[in-house]
Structure 1
């Protein structure tokens, strides 16, 4: 098959996904992108760019696009007959939590709904995300004052399915190495933003530091133009514990820091899959994750008692236990690393290819 892959927001996990699929798919994939900035403008205007950029859509067997564009505009304005189109939802504007000063924009939610209705198939990166989207779409439709299109939900439900994203590591089994630092290293490899709930993370670390629990800290992950104040304060308060700070561009260096980590922690209030967690687990970090979002479904259920925390007090207790004796969790980290291998693009691309070949 010849596939046209349109990515309106080519950055972060969107970029990794597009490159991972195009590099590992057995099909011939043409990747056309826009830079990862001005996301609201991308949703409204990306279709106009792609229509002008790609002169002959008829030579493709399938168009694969992601959620940050208005697909109904693209279909309406594109010349000639179009091949089947599918859309992958990394996130959606219906269920995404608002920032501290954010206001609900119903038009963006309807853009997601219309785009999903216009496709042959809609893919979500987790069962959690799929359910959240359908629930929020139903709620938004019910907000309409009259002439509510209740038929939409049945149509959406029939075309949605879950396809986990691939991750940028090898699928082959390997033995993780014992950590060599004199203190356990805590990994934060999430975006420096409000939806990752850094306030709660640093509060737990402050309490542990006050108790005299020793640790190192790696603050990685993408940074925005405006860094939240909680990070500025943390950089000062944990200056003796921090070994590395800021986004690491080199995959090799990033991987090397993960391989030094004893534990990776998430306190997120928004996460539709959790690539950063899976990457850390693959390199031997023990995960501590909240009992919400997509986390319970991407980790083996038999280990939920050790991995999943229910409250912040529970997180602090579990983290303190690991920091006091990280070697105790080594064999479990090895097993979890092997489990994470199933999310490698080498494995996932085969699933994508098989599903896409059936779309007519």
Structure 2
């Protein structure tokens, strides 16, 4: 949004704070219908897929006449839940409906786009009867991939990033008496996985930095001082934090899944927890492998080429 504001004259921005997203998905349309002024010069309506676009344009027919662009930074059809019964049908259903009323649908990665479109059919089978058909065929012609522009935002801690695998792997390295130093950066929210507190105690002697850093410069300095950056995500529709770290010179290790094969060559991907542990053991013993010149350009060129 900041990038659009900087590069598009006459861009009006209407937002809500990035918290309580469940309520944003349910109620933001009504709020924005009362907040966005009637303006004859508006030509394009660019909205996040968290917004129920159907409700907004129904409440505001003047906005319905604009070219409507829907942007997906994630999608609720592929978003991981611990149990499928926990998935709230309405969030995904709202995103499908928003696509149907949009003129263009932009995704931040091909993985995001394909995981959404390929899931629509099975998702709609949850409806007990009178199910709609072929919705993916109606939506696909509108779809484009518009990679996210990396601008070094702060990172956050969530269960879908699989901190258990990350910390359990580091604990195994420590048990093998391998030498490493650890920085865990990110803002702390109210629901922090339990593994964070136990891992902090077990890995205390290896920790260089832990928690939220108050300035972007401090955050970037930690990345620039690091040799390796690890992702253990079970969910990632783009992977901004990994690209930030690679931009700062870190050697990336990512799952061979989700969006990562779009961005990184095979030598930076692992398929199993055992492979991740093996790669990290090797880098602990041979840190020079992570410090060799050349991999930065390979990884970044791969990202820029998508």
**Where on the TM-score scale, by shorter chain, does this alignment land: which range?**
over 0.9
The verdict on how the C-alpha distance between 1:293 and 1:341 changes in structure 2, with shifts beyond 3 A counting, is closer
Structure 1, residues 193-231: CA drift from partner, whole Å, max 9, x if none? 210001111111111111111111110123221221100
Partner of 2:238: 273
Q: SS state of the match for residue 297, structure 2?
A: helix
Q: 1:284 aligns with which of 249, 266, 269?
A: 249
Q: 1:135 aligns with which of 115, 118, 122?
A: 118
Q: 2:275 aligns with which of 314, 317, 321?
A: 314
CA RMSD of aligned residues (A): 2.1
Partner of 1:165: 148
**Cα pair 2:251 2:296 within 8 Å, conserved:** no
Structure 2 stretches lacking a partner, 5+ long: none
**Cα pair 2:120 2:135 within 8 Å, conserved:** no
Distance (Å, rounded) in 1 between the aligned partners of 2:236 and 2:214? 22
**Cα pair 1:281 1:340 within 8 Å, conserved:** no
Q: Which moved more, 1:287-296 or 1:28-37?
A: 28-37
Q: SS state of the match for residue 45, structure 1?
A: helix
Provide the TM-score with structure 1 as the length reference.
0.79
Partner of 2:131: 148
1:52 aligns with 2:34: yes
Superposition misfits of 4+ residues, deviation over 3 angstroms: 99-102, 340-343
Distance (Å, rounded) in 1 between the aligned partners of 2:24 and 2:11? 22
**Cα pair 2:262 2:303 within 8 Å, conserved:** no
Distance (Å, rounded) in 2 between the aligned partners of 1:203 and 1:108? 33
Structure 1, residues 289-339: CA drift from partner, whole Å, max 9, x if none? 11110001011x3xx1x2111111111111111222222332134424653
Greater RCO structure (CA 8 Å; 6+ sep): 1
The verdict on how the C-alpha distance between 1:166 and 1:340 changes in structure 2, with shifts beyond 3 A counting, is farther
Partner of 2:289: 328
Q: Which moved more, 1:143-152 or 1:115-124?
A: 143-152
Q: CA deviation at 1:99?
A: 4.0
Q: SS state of the match for residue 182, structure 2?
A: strand
Structure 1, residues 120-140: CA drift from partner, whole Å, max 9, x if none? 011111111111111221111
Partner of 1:37: 19
- How many pairs were matched up? 303
Structure 1 stretches lacking a partner, 5+ long: 1-17, 170-188, 349-360
The verdict on how the C-alpha distance between 1:145 and 1:200 changes in structure 2, with shifts beyond 3 A counting, is same
